[in-house]
Amino acid sequence: MKIGILSRKSNLYSTSRLVEAARARGHQAEVIDTLRCYMNITSAQPTIHFKGAPLDTYDAVIPRIGASITFYGAAVVRQLEMMGVFCVNDSVAITRGRDKLRSLQLLSKKGIGLPITGFAHSLDEIQDLIKMVGGPPLVIKFLEGTQGIGVILVETSKAARSVLEAFFGLKVNIMVQEYIKEAGGADIRCFVVGGKVVAAMKRQAESPEEFRSNLHRGGIATPVEITEEERTMAIRAAHIIGLNVAGIDIVRSHRGPLIMEVNASPGLEGIEKTTGVDVAGAIIQFVEKGVK
Ligand code: ADP
Ligand code: MG
């Protein structure tokens, strides 16, 4: 098979591991720089050009779309879908997964456990919004943040009010969330491929002062045994968002596991190095089944 990895850089760990895993299983693999693709949207014959020539024909494409290029990346994936190329995650699922609010709304409809989350536009009802999510301490999040940037813990109503006022003033979309204190700065990343959890790790914030477990914020990862409930929840969440490959983040709360976040282009480095699982290989195996 000829497999394309849609990614900005070939030297990123995840990208190079996917290339390596594809080649190890006897496939041809190439990295396609997402931003160097351009599209011809004509009826009957949609095409993609790449660096001045029509893009080669691929049997399958693995999209690795960074948060900063979601819009353009999703357009490239959509164009590939129009051309009949098998895409590991489709453009609609990528777009859904990237929007924290949209994915939580979809999950809530299906009864998946979530932290209580509020979203508002007007400053007038801030007091009620704060009350709705259980009062302080609470978490305020940028809708399109990643790697823990734009996730703020506020301890008092007064602080919450000022932070919300500031962000509303700047016209950024933010949501307000119940703080899951008992998670103790930890969460569980479940790596889902083709309806199975292929690997899981626990991420723990680096110090007691930090509540964000992101590895980019100094979080420390260890392998973890997940419960059947957590496994089922991760698989269901990926399915509801429509992702074949997903990083599903779960926090352990007093009322059971809750979904914190869904990632459409989860990194491979942390999970592979922590668990020793060949996650890239699992993705390539999924591609083989999907193309067949
Ligand atoms: P990002 O997309 O930036 O990773 P997340 O929503 O995943 O944003 O939040 C980053 C981290 O902050 C989470 O992994 C978790 O450790 C912590 N966190 C976020 N929201 C809450 C919350 N409501 N309660 C407790 N911890 C939280
Ligand atoms: Mg996260």
Structure confidence by residue, pLDDT tens digits, 42-93: 877 889 999 889 998 999 999 999 888 999 999 999 999 999 999 999 999 9
Q: How far is the CA of 71 from the centre of ligand 2 (A)?
A: 20
Ligand minimally distant from the alpha carbon of residue 187: 1
Q: How far is the CA of 204 from the centre of ligand 2 (A)?
A: 12
Query: What confidence score (pLDDT) does residue 121 get?
Result: 85
Ligand 1 atom 20: residue of nearest CA: 139
Q: How far is the CA of 210 from the centre of ligand 2 (A)?
A: 14
Residue 220 has pLDDT above 90, yes or no: yes
Query: What confidence score (pLDDT) does residue 42 get?
Result: 81
55 and 49 Cβ atoms separated by less than 8 Å? yes
Ligand 1 atom 21: residue of nearest CA: 179
Strand partners of residue 5:
31, 62
Query: What confidence score (pLDDT) does residue 84 get?
Result: 93
Ligand minimally distant from the alpha carbon of residue 247: 2
Query: What confidence score (pLDDT) does residue 130 get?
Result: 92
Task: Give the Cβ contact number of residue 76 at 10 Å.
Answer: 26
Residue from 130, 142, 260 to probe ligand 1 pocket by mutation (most atoms less than 8 Å from CB): 260
Q: How far is the CA of 245 from the centre of ligand 2 (A)?
A: 16
Ligand 1 atom 18: residue of nearest CA: 212
Residue 124 has pLDDT above 90, yes or no: no
Query: What confidence score (pLDDT) does residue 137 get?
Result: 95
List pocket residues of ligand 1, CB cut-off 6 Å: 115, 139, 141, 145-148, 151, 177-180, 183, 187, 211-214, 249, 251, 260-261
Structure confidence by residue, pLDDT tens digits, 159-186: 999 999 999 888 888 999 999 999 999 9
- Domains of the chain (ranges plus CATH)? 2-89 (3.40.50.20), 97-112+182-291 (3.30.470.20), 117-179 (3.30.1490.20)
Query: What confidence score (pLDDT) does residue 245 get?
Result: 98
Structure confidence by residue, pLDDT tens digits, 143-152: 878 888 999 9
Ligand 1 atom 13: residue of nearest CA: 212
Q: What percentage of residues in the chain have a pLDDT greater than 90?
A: 84
pTM: 0.95
Residue 287 has pLDDT above 90, yes or no: yes
Q: How far is the CA of 261 from the centre of ligand 2 (A)?
A: 6
Structure confidence by residue, pLDDT tens digits, 111-120: 999 999 999 8
153 and 178 Cβ atoms separated by less than 8 Å? no
